[in-house]
Chain A
């Protein structure tokens, strides 16, 4: 078993999942409740990674963080090294790639919260922040968990973006899915079987848990009284 690749993938997935919970919640809140007229453009950008080929997204990310872009030059002068073919570069690319998987379930769950509950909270003197913490978040917890789990699982299984941005450096940017590709290229089918099966089993288990959790939430409280 290729343990460096497995731990690297796990580290990447945890980092991305944690960052997406921090970034995704406010973004999902904004997408749900904003009345800005151009909101649909932001929604389209957030959803782009769902339909874009990972190589295309990876290519643009690579160009954007490369030494020829202003951002890439700024980052290199700030940190002392470039982003391409580093773990940080992988994190950035994965954030973009998994963004819709975090934001969409969260936004969908926020939108399902009965607006009169939000109004009731305001009437009772609660600020937006308190309303979010005490009413919206608890009632949308299923969607938040789903968003977290999906972004974790999706990051764990990504291939194209990671390959474009990170290359295939064992121990640095070689994730588990790239390791499978490597093993097949080397005709090491036994190792590839083990790695692939591990990914399959993990993905199945996380998704099952997610769906089971969500089901229990519906069963406890019907949406409308």
Chain B
């Protein structure tokens, strides 16, 4: 299929299919498509996110696969195509930013414009510095500006060459939320006119929620899930996704009863006697699975709740309360240990204190069934 002539080259999507094995046994095997706009690449450290970006940019060579931006093929192992890094027209924001320490902000930003006429360089420099609000820093060196300013300069440097694709390797992880969201706003504004695919690597679920039109979850070199952030994170079918997405409670569970006509089933948690009603996933009693529950989705009552729609109400003993910022983290023993998040005012209103007998309330649909991750079994059992 030939690309429509009216479509400008830079609103083309990225197609990547990459296979790469390493001597230590780690293997990366991933295939995905990224449309113009933000795509979040989400995964724990060591999952292969950076290697994936490096293969796309050409800094690492896949054993097999294909990388293309729209009709432009950058790598194809079958056809023995591998466009050299400097000719790929890709913007890459490194984790450490990699600003040239010996060059001024201006020289850093115009570095990629070598060979362009002086007036073009000047115009582009001015435009991009203004887009990212760093025009006043032109003569300074990277060592003499703040962390947020460095991020902005690095973004300006990656984008001044008008790349066809932007790769961001956890670039904003060190910044506070306000600085971060302002930079993202400027990046979005810049991309409304360019409309290029932006692959954004992060391990922060907040960032994934805030940014992504689309999210790809990577673990141990393989893609576990992809889709909209809501689809991927709110109904996590995989334990790694659940942990990354901030599910504080993850339990081993055994299916004890299946109520097919109701669309639910009952699961016994760990080795306790506690059973929860969860959404139906597999119709097989005795099947071992895991249940993930957000700490913020659990309600606390001081007496047994009556006339309530939630199907799971059970008693527990309040073991501890720990205030962290505006959240109170309660640990509750109900045969298994639950982490429950409350507001300070709720703790005050209920007069909660350690040792107290309370009731926990969990909706059926707050219980997410997840596929156990082989590698993390021990880690999760510690709960």
The total of chain B residues at the interface (CB under 8 A) is 27
Contact B111 A124 (CB under 8 A): yes
Say yes or no: A125 contacts B87, CB within 8 Å: yes
Is A52's CB within 8 Å of the partner chain B? no
B112 and A124: CB pair below 8 A? yes
Are A123 and B101 neighbours in the complex by a CB distance under 8 Å? no
B94 touches A125 (CB 8 A): no
Given contacts A120-B94, A225-B143, contact A135 B100 (CB under 8 A): yes
* Smallest CB separation, B283 vs chain A (Å): 52
B86 within 8 A of A: yes
* B94 surroundings in chain A (CB, below 8 A): 116, 119-120
Task: Scan residues 91-149 of chain B and give those whose CB is less than 8 A from a CB of chain A.
Answer: 91-92, 94-102, 111-112, 114, 142-143
Contact of A123 among B92, B96, B100, B142 (CB under 8 A): B92
**How near does chain B come to A129, taking the closest CB pair, in angstroms?**
11
Q: Which residue on B lies nearest to A120, using beta carbons?
A: B98
- Interface residues in A131-156 by Cβ distance below 8 A to B read 134-135, 138-139
Bound Cα distance A9, B88 (Å): 52
Residue of B nearest to A223 (CB): B101
Which of B87, B88, B92, B143 has a CB less than 8 Å from the CB of A120? B92
The answer to whether B85 touches A123 (Cβ under 8 A) is: yes
Residue on B with the closest CB to A222?
Answer: B143
Partner of A221, one of B101, B111, B114, B157: B101
**Is B98's CB under 8 angstroms from A126's CB?**
no
- In the complex, what residues of B have CB within 8 A of residue A119's CB? 59, 85, 92, 94, 98
CA A119 to CA B59, docked complex, whole Å: 7
A188 within 8 A of B: no
A124–B94 Cα distance when bound, in Å, is: 12
- Say yes or no for B161: interface residue by CB 8 A criterion: yes
Q: Is the CB of B87 within 8 A of A225?
A: no
Q: Which residue of B lies closest to A121 (CB)?
A: B111
- B274-314 interface code vs A (CB 8 A; 1 in, 0 out): 00000000000000000000000000000000000000000
Interface centre among B88, B90, B94, B98 (most CB of A within 10 A): B98
Within the complex, which residue of A123, A127, A221 is in contact with B102, where a contact is CB–CB below 8 Å? A221
Q: Which residue of A114, A116, A122 is within 8 Å of B86 (Cβ)?
A: A122
Is A117 in contact with chain B by the CB < 8 A criterion? yes
Q: Which residue among B96, B142, B158, B161 has the maximum number of chain A CB atoms within 10 Å of its CB?
A: B96
Interface residues of B (CB under 8 A from A): 57, 59, 85-88, 90-92, 94-102, 111-112, 114, 142-143, 150, 157-158, 161
Q: List 9 A-B contacts (CB under 8 A).
A: A123-B91, A124-B86, A125-B87, A125-B114, A134-B111, A221-B102, A224-B96, A225-B101, A225-B143
The 8 residue pairs across chains A and B that have the minimum distance between CB atoms: A124-B112, A120-B98, A116-B98, A122-B85, A125-B86, A123-B92, A116-B94, A138-B102
Further contacts, 15 of them, CB under 8 A, given A117-B98, A119-B59: A114-B98, A116-B95, A116-B96, A119-B85, A120-B92, A123-B86, A124-B86, A124-B157, A127-B86, A130-B114, A134-B111, A221-B143, A224-B96, A225-B96, A225-B99
